[in-house]
Amino acid sequence: MVERKHWFSTLLPHAILILGVLIVAFPVYVAFVGSSWDAGTIANGTMPMTPGPYLVENYSRVILSGNATAREPVGPMLFNSFVMAMIIALGKIAISIISAYAVVYFRFPLRKTAFWLIFITLMLPVEVRIYPTYKIVADLGLLDTYGGLAIPLIASATATLLFRQFFMTIPDELVEASKIDGAGPWKFFKDTVLPLSITTVAALFVIQFIYGWNQYLWPLLITTREDMQTIVIGIKKMLVTQDALTEWQLAMATAVLAMLPPVVVVLVMQKLFVRGLVETEK
């Protein structure tokens, strides 16, 4: 289709998009700039708009020795966050793809009930069920463990519903052709459903990884030991200090570092994502 576009019709959407990008990117830029000055410059009230000379010093302090209040260096906290986010993302995908598969492809008693039970949990996010969940995790002795951090967040109605929605778009004939080709439920899952779901999996992985990475309330509750702390909590602790000046430059540097893993995940997954979109077709 050849369509000559008026310059205005290309310009306007771009102008809006650029404006949007600027609005979103500006705080990130400020955080980056803030991480390149010393505490004094930031504390006197006006934040400079250009990077300063303390970049290397701030980052090496954050990475190597931590700061005055949260004495942990950033490395272990990043690692904890990463492990937690990975367990949550992979766990959510594994559990929800299996339960969606069961709900869509198997006829078993109380199938509808099972589906609605999953659906109802949408109304019960962690915050609502936090006390019983805490009790269970504590009784199981999972406080201050990766298991305790991640497992209660793994069950996911959203992901199950998404997979279910996707599975329902796979034509019935493919199931039937597989049956005739001698593929049982496991082979059909492994050879057809999984490869076809790869884009959905990639999309969910990105969303759930970031969800896990950004967890605040639950890790705050469940971790007491310094070495089990996640980066989000680390940042928070840097900001609230009783006796000392908040070291903004270090908090900013930590925040910038905390942003990197999700960014990497998005970039890596985006490729798979796009490749999946281009290569497969229902």
Partner 1 sequence: MAEVTLNDVRKVYAGGVEAVKGVSLDIPDGGFCVLVGPSGCGKSTLLRMVAGLETISSGQVAIGGRVVNEIEPAERDIAMVFQNYALYPHMSVYDNIAYGLRNRGTPKDEIDRRVQEAARILAIEPFLQRKPRALSGGQRQRVAMGRAIVRKPQVFLFDEPLSNLDAKLRVQMRVEIKKLQRALGVTSIYVTHDQVEAMTLSDKLVVMSGGQVEQVGTPTEVYRRPETRFVATFIGSPPMNILPGLVDGDGRVSVGGLTLAADDLPAGLEPGRHVDVGVRPEEVEVAPAGAPGAPFAIDFVEELGATELLHGTLGGSPFVLQVNTGAVSPGTKAVTLAIPSRCVHVFDAETGKRLGRAESATARAA
| Binding residues vs partner 1 (CB under 8 A) | 171, 173-174, 176-177, 179-183, 187, 191-192, 195-196, 279-282
Q: Which of residues 93 and 196 has its CB atom nearest to partner 1 in the complex?
A: 196
Nearest approach, Cβ of residue 174 and partner 1 (Å): 6
HSE toward the beta carbon, residue 121, CA cutoff 13 A: 17
Instruction: Label residues 268-280 b or e (16+ Cβ within 10 Å = b).
Output: ebeebbeebeeee
Nearest approach, Cβ of residue 90 and partner 1 (Å): 22
CA distance 145 to 130: 17
- Report helix, strand or coil for 2: coil
Q: Which of residues 97 and 232 has its CB atom nearest to partner 1 in the complex?
A: 97
Q: Which of residues 107 and 225 has its CB atom nearest to partner 1 in the complex?
A: 107
Nearest approach, Cβ of residue 273 and partner 1 (Å): 15
CA distance 211 to 219: 13
DSSP 20: H
Nearest approach, Cβ of residue 276 and partner 1 (Å): 10
Q: Which of residues 139 and 173 has its CB atom nearest to partner 1 in the complex?
A: 173
Q: Are 200 and 148 in contact (CB under 8 A)?
A: no
Q: Are 238 and 70 in contact (CB under 8 A)?
A: yes
Q: Which of residues 106 and 131 has its CB atom nearest to partner 1 in the complex?
A: 106
Nearest approach, Cβ of residue 277 and partner 1 (Å): 12
Burial (CB count <10 Å: 0-12, 13-18, 19+), residue 240 = exposed
CA distances from 60 to 4, 56, 76, 82, 87 (A): 53, 6, 14, 20, 29
Nearest approach, Cβ of residue 197 and partner 1 (Å): 10
Q: Which of residues 20 and 195 has its CB atom nearest to partner 1 in the complex?
A: 195
